[in-house]
């Protein structure tokens, strides 16, 4: 059985639950890989169709009470012009709205993309009702710069499956920053959910799609009791795996999927998360580690 098949099977085996069984403390909306572009469909990638799909997501979320919406990167396939076209559609989703940088987003240039997305820094945190949400920049080390090309060359020399130009890494500075954020949450007994464009656990995706420095990232995530879940995109087929008490979820890419498959609502309870399609009344339970 292939790793992606294992991940999908694992997700399908999670017990379904009735969302109506108790009210969550709060909910948020998440989606990945809109990858809009004014260009013809290629394979399953319906680039122009992503605008209409975002409209469908907005309609489905009108009946939901969410604290925020976050997209996990690759809002566009390429170009600042496409970013200008799709942002009005994304801005119809419930706010506040947050962005994660993806590899395709940087085709417009890092500084231009950050400015247009309203990001003063590519990785950051925010809090909702005592929960910490940590947004990572998986392209902090990338093939766009000399240091990143050196990292990529070493990975290729070692035969690493994730030695791909369309991947990236966090880098030492950001990993130390993440460590401090998680440590702080652990110290006060609070929970944290981490967002990144790139999966960190190969079993939650495919080995070809994970962060360049995924091993260091996994060790850190699982060493801090505050860590509840790690949500990513990048691999449009999606996937799920649990390890060390942390739930690793890879969302299906909107550009290749139906809105109800990609646009998800996460209900946050004191002892669990419930992930479900927007507008649906049932979901899958992800228990919090003790």
Residue 165 lies in a domain: yes
The reply to whether 20 falls in a domain is no
Classify residue 279: in a domain, yes or no: no
The residue-averaged pLDDT of 157-186 equals 97
- pLDDT value, residue 14: 44
- The band of 289, judged by pLDDT with boundaries at 50, 70 and 90, is confident
Give a yes or no: residue 154 inside a domain. Answer: yes
Q: CA 287 to CA 259: how far, in whole Å?
A: 25
Tens of pLDDT, residues 203-248: 999 999 999 999 999 999 999 999 999 999 999 999 999 999 999 9
Say if residues 182 and 134 touch (Cβ distance below 8 Å): yes
Instruction: Kindly state whether residue 105 falls inside one of the protein's structural domains.
Output: yes
Instruction: Determine if the pTM surpasses 0.95.
Output: no
Summarised one tens digit per residue, pLDDT across range 94-132 is 989 999 999 999 987 899 999 999 999 999 999 999 999
- Which of the two residues, 265 and 13, has the higher pLDDT score? 265
pLDDT digits (tens, 9 = 90+) for 267-286: 999 999 999 998 787 888 99
CATH code for the domain in which residue 187 is found = 3.60.21.10
Confidence of residue 21 (pLDDT cuts 50, 70, 90): low
Assess whether pLDDT exceeds 80 at residue 20. no
> Total domain count for the chain?
1
Q: What letter does residue 35 receive in the DSSP assignment?
A: -
Domain ranges, residue 74: 3-11+25-271
Residue 30 lies in a domain: yes
Mean pLDDT calculated for residue range 152-174: 96
């Amino acid at each position: 059985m292939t790793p992606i098949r294992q991940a999908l099977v694992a997700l399908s085996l999670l017990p379904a639950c009735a969302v109506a069984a108790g009210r969550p403390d709060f909910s948020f909306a998440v989606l990945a890989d809109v990858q809009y572009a004014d260009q013809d469909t290629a394979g399953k990638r319906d680039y122009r169709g992503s605008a209409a799909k975002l409209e469908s997501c907005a309609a489905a979320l009108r009946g939901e009470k969410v604290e925020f919406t976050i997209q996990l990167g690759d809002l566009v396939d390429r170009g600042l012009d496409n970013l200008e076209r799709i942002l009005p559609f994304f801005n119809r989703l419930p706010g506040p709205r947050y962005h994660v940088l993806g590899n395709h987003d940087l085709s417009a240039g890092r500084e231009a993309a950050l400015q247009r997305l309203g990001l003063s820094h590519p990785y950051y945190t925010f809090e909702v009702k005592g929960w910490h949400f940590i947004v990572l920049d998986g392209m902090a080390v990338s093939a766009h710069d000399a240091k990143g090309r050196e990292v990529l060359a070493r990975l290729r020399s070692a035969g690493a499956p994730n030695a791909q130009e369309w991947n990236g890494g966090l880098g030492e500075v950001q990993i130390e920053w993440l460590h401090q954020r998680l440590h702080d949450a652990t110290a006060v007994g609070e929970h944290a959910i981490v967002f990144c464009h790139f999966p960190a656990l190969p079993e939650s995706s495919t080995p070809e799609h994970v962060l360049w420095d995924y091993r260091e990232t996994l060790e850190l995530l699982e060493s801090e009791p505050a860590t509840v879940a790690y949500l990513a995109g990048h691999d449009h087929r999606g996937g799920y795996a649990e390890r060390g008490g942390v739930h690793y979820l890879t969302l299906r890419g909107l550009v290749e999927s139906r809105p109800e498959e990609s646009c998800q609502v996460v209900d946050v309870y004191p002892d669990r998360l419930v992930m479900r399609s927007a507008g649906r009344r049932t979901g899958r339970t992800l228990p919090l580690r003790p």
